[in-house]
Amino acid sequence: MSSNADIAAIFEQMAALLELTGADKFRVNAHARAARAIEACAEPLVDLADDLKALEAIEGIGAKSAKKIAEYAETGEIKEHRELLAKVPSGLLDVLAVPGLGPKTVKLLWEEKGVEGIDDLKRIIEDGSIADVPRMGAKTIANIADAISFAERSAGRLQLGLAVPIAEMICERLRAVKGAGSVEYAGSARRGRETVGDLDILASGKDEAALHDAFSSMPEVEKVLASGESKSSVRMQVGKHLIQADLRVVGAAHHGAALMYFTGSKEFNVRLRERALKKGMTLNEYGLYPEDQEKTPPQHRGVKPIASKTEEAIFEALGVAFVPPELREEGTGWERWKQTPELIEVKDIRAELHAHTTASDGAMSIEELVEAAKERGFHTIAVTDHSRSSAIAGGLSVERLMEHIEAVREVDAKTKGITVLAGSEVDILADGTLDYEDKVLKKLDVVVASPHASLRQEPVVATERLLKAIANPFVHILGHPTGRLIGEREALSPDIGRLVAAAVEHRVALEINSHWRRLDLRDVHVRAAMSGGALIAIDCDVHRAEQFGNIRYGIATARRGGVAPERCINTWTAKKLHALLKAKR
């Protein structure tokens, strides 16, 4: 299966291989930029392989990269990639990933010490011969050994739903420090990326030393990597999860500039700095300053910033609309909007349309589920237990489903203040047919059609499978359309453009599944849905009461895709939502 993620991974690896073989920076950067562009593209690029101009029209993909994509689509490989792999021991890519080892050093280790993998690196650390390599002091060697150990014990990037609670825990502790001012997390967690590499915490307060001490002495800290006046870095173990966290303490007057800088992304910051220069100003982590030709930064010479206290003030001074953090990725930015886009928020959600009870694999009874939904102020809750093919999840036979529908109706009849709908999460079988016949589906208030099996189908087959499900007249929502689990399986790679067009035609909402292991649709697919005019459903796929809280991760993904409240059916009034659902009955 040739997904965009597969092609992006090849280009990213080519960039690393080019660095190791001493290629010029332009070629390295071109491949890295193409990798990011490919990964961010919603449409399968293999479908564009016959149209080089269409590929070149994608920002970040040049003529040479377009030809390589076409080559991959035709042959299943890229000749240059194969040639580079032949030149470099495969284990060197793992060595290159070790913090503190850049391409030049790795190249020296390879050529002078015979290092071809992590085991070789460990060997020369243990026998001391690594010290013969230039710039390899005792502290550097110790840090490399520690980084190897940390990498072997950690699982790399954490899913958003694992990283954010850790960030919030750190912030809560620092806010308790006497004299603490603003404390918040930044970086990829604030931007709502589906995975987080490390945590960036930003704080201001009267006692900087106390903040650093509180941060470095948290019980979860297993190693203090750095401790200074403005920055501290630690490695933490929270439960079974290992992660690095950095604390930066700034003066309150510079808080907005620092928050913007450390939120990123790097590419977004670069574009804003370019904007500042064009307007005769300089932008850095301390503020927006009048442009100055001297090498010493203006903040170190007492120059007063034009704006620095808040992000909003900096955007205003630059003459551009405020860009929410979730939209500050490469390929998006201030150039898109004349005014700040209206994006969906958690408070806008008024209904949950994908939830499970003890009838299948949920932990709550119907009554308990309904009560939890009422506590969140929802006007509608849909009970959508699994269909019969999901045997491992206790899927319901037709006979059990009929009994379950009656049980849901009884609860709805006696419950005030919320509408309880009888639905089902119906499996989309491998050939695109649904797990229940239409005469059964017609009896349900809500049908969420989802793929759960046969998740390694080729893109063309997967697309036709999902299109057939969307076209079913009784389907309301296409649930977690690709079936992916972040970091565990890539799953289906359908043509999102065609799914969006079909969803618009058949008035089917495309789901963003809010569970942090899924976030499916992913952000790039959501952008395609917005461009194509489709409706979105943001659901928690609730199995336990606490999973209602996952809505914030689905909202983050929706915001990264540019979803306005009115495009999400979960924000609609009960009258409007129920009319949409009943229109298919």
The predicted pLDDT at position 10 comes to 92
Q: Match 């993620």 to its residue by tokens.
A: 5
How sure is the predictor about 205, in pLDDT bands with cuts at 50, 70 and 90?
Answer: confident
Answer with the residue of higher pLDDT: 350 or 33.
Answer: 350
Task: For residue 494, list its beta bridge partners.
Answer: none
Domain ranges, ordered by start, for the chain: 4-153, 158-249, 254-336, 346-582
> Strands 380-386 and 351-352: what pairing?
parallel
Q: What are 348-370's pLDDT values in tens digits?
A: 999 999 999 999 999 999 999 99
- Per-position DSSP letters for 542-553, written without gaps between them: BSSGGGGGGHHH
CB-based contacts of 155: which residues, under 8 Å, 6+ apart? 241, 242, 487
Phi and psi (nearest 5°) for 422? -95, 115
Long-range contact list for 566-569, CB < 8 A, 24+ apart?
Answer: 567/344, 567/530, 567/535, 567/536, 568/344, 568/348, 568/349, 568/535, 568/536, 568/537, 568/538, 569/351, 569/353, 569/509, 569/535, 569/536, 569/537
How sure is the predictor about 87, in pLDDT bands with cuts at 50, 70 and 90?
Answer: very high
User: E-strand spans in 50-106?
Assistant: none
Confirm if 90 and 70 have CB atoms less than 8 A apart: no
Q: What are 219-232's pLDDT values in tens digits?
A: 999 999 988 778 99
Phi and psi (nearest 5°) for 25? -60, -30
Name the nearest CA neighbour of 463 among 437, 433, 497.
497
Please provide the distance, in angstroms rounded to a whole number, between the alpha carbons at the two ends of the chain.
37
Domain 158-249 coded CATH 3.30.460.10: yes
Name the nearest CA neighbour of 227 among 185, 140, 206, 235.
235
Reply yes or no on whether the pLDDT at 149 is more than 90.
no
The predicted pLDDT at position 136 comes to 87
Name the nearest CA neighbour of 307 among 269, 354, 253.
253
d(CA 391, CA 395): 5
pTM beyond 0.75: yes
Superfamily per CATH, domain 346-582: Metal-dependent hydrolases (3.20.20.140)
d(CA 269, CA 185): 17
CB-based contacts of 321: which residues, under 8 Å, 6+ apart? 315, 334, 337, 338, 339, 340, 341
Reply yes or no on whether the pLDDT at 1 is more than 50.
no
CB-based contacts of 395: which residues, under 8 Å, 6+ apart? 360, 385, 386, 387, 388, 389, 427, 435
Name the nearest CA neighbour of 451 among 387, 547, 403, 505.
387
How sure is the predictor about 335, in pLDDT bands with cuts at 50, 70 and 90?
Answer: low
Three-state secondary structure call for residue 276: helix
d(CA 157, CA 83): 30
Most confident of 50-59, 302-311, 547-556: 547-556
4-153: CATH topology is DNA polymerase; domain 1 (1.10.150)
Reply yes or no on whether the pLDDT at 319 is more than 60.
yes
How sure is the predictor about 510, in pLDDT bands with cuts at 50, 70 and 90?
Answer: very high
Average pLDDT over residues 121-128: 93
Domain 254-336 coded CATH 3.30.210.10: yes
Average of per-residue pLDDT values in the chain: 92
The predicted pLDDT at position 103 comes to 79
Q: Which two tokens stand for residue 536?
A: 């979105």
Q: What are 452-471's pLDDT values in tens digits?
A: 999 989 999 999 999 999 99
Output Rg (C-alpha) for the chain, integer angstroms: 26
Reply yes or no on whether the pLDDT at 300 is more than 90.
no
d(CA 244, CA 242): 7
Task: Name the DSSP class of 344.
Answer: -
User: E-strand spans in 134-270?
Assistant: 158-159, 180-185, 195-196, 198-205, 221-227, 231-238, 241-249
Reply yes or no on whether the pLDDT at 334 is more than 90.
no
Pick the range with the lowest mean pLDDT from 278-292, 419-433, 541-555: 278-292
Phi and psi (nearest 5°) for 529? -65, -40
